[in-house]
Homo-oligomer: A and B are copies of this chain.
Amino acid sequence: MELKTKLEGLKKFKQNLFGKDFLLTTEKTLDELKYITELAETLKEFHKQGKSFKLFDSGLGISIFRDNSTRTRFSFASAVNATGLGISDLDEVKSQIAHGETVRETANMISFLAEIIGIRDDMYLGEGNKYMREVADAVQEGFEKGVLHRRPNVVNLQCDIDHPTQSLADLGKLKDYFGSFENLKGKKLAMTWAYSPSYGKPLSVPQGIVTLMTRFGMDVTLAYPEGYNLIPELEAKVKNDNPSFKVVNSMEEAFKDADVVYPKSWAPFEVMKERTKLLQNSDKDGLKELEKKCLANNAKYKNWECDETKMKLTKGGEALYMHCLPADITDVSCKEGEVSKEVFEKYRIHTYHEASYKPFVIAAMILSSKFENLESELLKKL
């Protein structure tokens, strides 16, 4: 499709993203989520054709990573650069839980010439998304009181609840794979826990996937070993809103007839809660003890591996395998992991392609929050 047509097509969506933060997909309307996804597609096409979507003259895009990250960091840096901003990383707050005046003041001090603030804070249950809101409130106050000339918008680069840049990149991949949003309806997606030789992986990816994909009419099954549940209220809400949503305790059951499988390790909600408390108290012995206990528990579920036998259970044995990467691949990155070498290799390029949507999703979030007449601005770049 021509870029011009694509841009014109974006106008059909009713959306109110200008001036808004992007903190949870659940706070956005279906039209807004479609808009971001199609805008990301369009920006991807701009890039493919060697066309620029640099709309800022200058200004900073600030990243705050309170957890290590390579993929999301580079996706954010790429998006920030492509839109015309300069990247600046605030690294002082890594692995601290800061609140109150410290957050309020720092947020303003770094924002005098900032346009966007991307935050990753996924370590502490009940804290990550809250921290993003504190930052957003602080710059809102700074803006209202005349300290900031413009109000930088906050983009959630992964928190304790959601990972919207990932789940929307995944949505972009699914739309491309199945052809349209419409075609996603009724497709069966298995979001399942998988064994990994590490512990403490955040809940945000599975939570983000089940909340988002059910809204697009997918038939989602969440599977995990007993005790490995997500945030209970979140699971309950998804179930309440989507009668077709199922939670099961068997990988095989979830894979049965699935069109898409997303096998990925995470730590049980109860463990994350306990871990958060231990991290807050800097209880190193407690953390070591918890890790030992969890790894031992995980080890009971080594058969939760996505292998060729389980893949045969899926629709025609040919379900799409998805992963947010990096995956723990048996005999490649570890002895026993989330996925067998054969399955991963078969879908490897698919997972790379899935990831390729992320920088453009972030760019779409940045541009839609900062330019009121975005389509017109982008048309000028053609």
A interface with B by C-beta (< 8 Å): 44, 47-48, 50, 52, 54, 57-60, 68, 70-71, 74-75, 77-79, 81-82, 84, 86-88, 90, 92, 100-102, 105-106, 108-110, 112-114, 142, 145-150, 325-326, 329, 332-333, 349, 352-353, 355-356, 358-359
Question: Cα distance A353–B111 when bound, in Å?
Answer: 12
Work out how many copies of this chain go into the complex. Answer: 3
Kindly list 8 other residue pairs between chains A and B, CB separation below 8 angstroms, not including A52-B57, A109-B325, A147-B356: A48-B149, A52-B58, A58-B81, A74-B109, A77-B88, A86-B87, A108-B352, A112-B356
Shortest distance in angstroms between A267's beta carbon and chain B's nearest beta carbon? Answer: 22
Note all chain B residues with C-beta closer than 8 A to A59: 81-82
Question: Cα distance A322–B102 when bound, in Å?
Answer: 17
Question: Cα distance A114–B75 when bound, in Å?
Answer: 11
The answer to whether A92 touches B78, judged by C-beta atoms less than 8 angstroms apart, is no
8 CB-based A-B contacts, threshold 8 Å: A44-B149, A58-B82, A70-B110, A74-B88, A74-B112, A108-B355, A145-B352, A147-B356
The answer to whether A78 touches B60, judged by C-beta atoms less than 8 angstroms apart, is yes
Residue of B with least CB distance to A48? B149
Instruction: Pick the residue among B47, B77, B84, B145 that contacts A149 (CB under 8 A).
Output: B47
Shortest distance in angstroms between A65's beta carbon and chain B's nearest beta carbon? Answer: 12
The answer to whether B88 touches A326, judged by C-beta atoms less than 8 angstroms apart, is no
Residue of B with least CB distance to A358? B112
Question: Cα distance A87–B108 when bound, in Å?
Answer: 21
Shortest distance in angstroms between A358's beta carbon and chain B's nearest beta carbon? Answer: 8
> Given A77-B88, A329-B101, A57–B54 Cβ distance below 8 Å?
yes
The answer to whether B359 touches A70, judged by C-beta atoms less than 8 angstroms apart, is no
The answer to whether B101 touches A353, judged by C-beta atoms less than 8 angstroms apart, is no
The answer to whether B88 touches A333, judged by C-beta atoms less than 8 angstroms apart, is no
> Given A75-B112, A77-B60, A86-B86, A101–B349 Cβ distance below 8 Å?
no
Residue of B with least CB distance to A93? B70
Question: Cα distance A250–B306 when bound, in Å?
Answer: 64
> Given A54-B58, A77-B88, A332-B101, A71–B109 Cβ distance below 8 Å?
yes
> Given A102-B333, A359-B113, A353–B70 Cβ distance below 8 Å?
no
> Given A47-B149, A77-B60, A113-B78, A70–B106 Cβ distance below 8 Å?
yes
Shortest distance in angstroms between A59's beta carbon and chain B's nearest beta carbon? Answer: 7
Shortest distance in angstroms between A46's beta carbon and chain B's nearest beta carbon? Answer: 10
Question: Cα distance A35–B53 when bound, in Å?
Answer: 33
Question: Cα distance A100–B353 when bound, in Å?
Answer: 19
Note all chain B residues with C-beta closer than 8 A to A90: 70, 74
Question: Cα distance A54–B68 when bound, in Å?
Answer: 33
Residue of B with least CB distance to A114? B78
Instruction: Pick the residue among B77, B79, B145, B359 that contacts A349 (CB under 8 A).
Output: B145
The answer to whether B70 touches A352, judged by C-beta atoms less than 8 angstroms apart, is no
Question: Cα distance A84–B81 when bound, in Å?
Answer: 11
Instruction: Pick the residue among B142, B329, B353 that contacts A352 (CB under 8 A).
Output: B142
Question: Cα distance A86–B326 when bound, in Å?
Answer: 25
Shortest distance in angstroms between A18's beta carbon and chain B's nearest beta carbon? Answer: 15
Note all chain B residues with C-beta closer than 8 A to A113: 47, 78-79, 81-82, 359
Question: Cα distance A60–B68 when bound, in Å?
Answer: 20
> Given A57-B52, A87-B86, A112–B359 Cβ distance below 8 Å?
yes
Note all chain B residues with C-beta closer than 8 A to A332: 100-101
Question: Cα distance A58–B352 when bound, in Å?
Answer: 22
Of listed A78, A100, A148, A325, residue having the most chain B CB within 10 A: A78
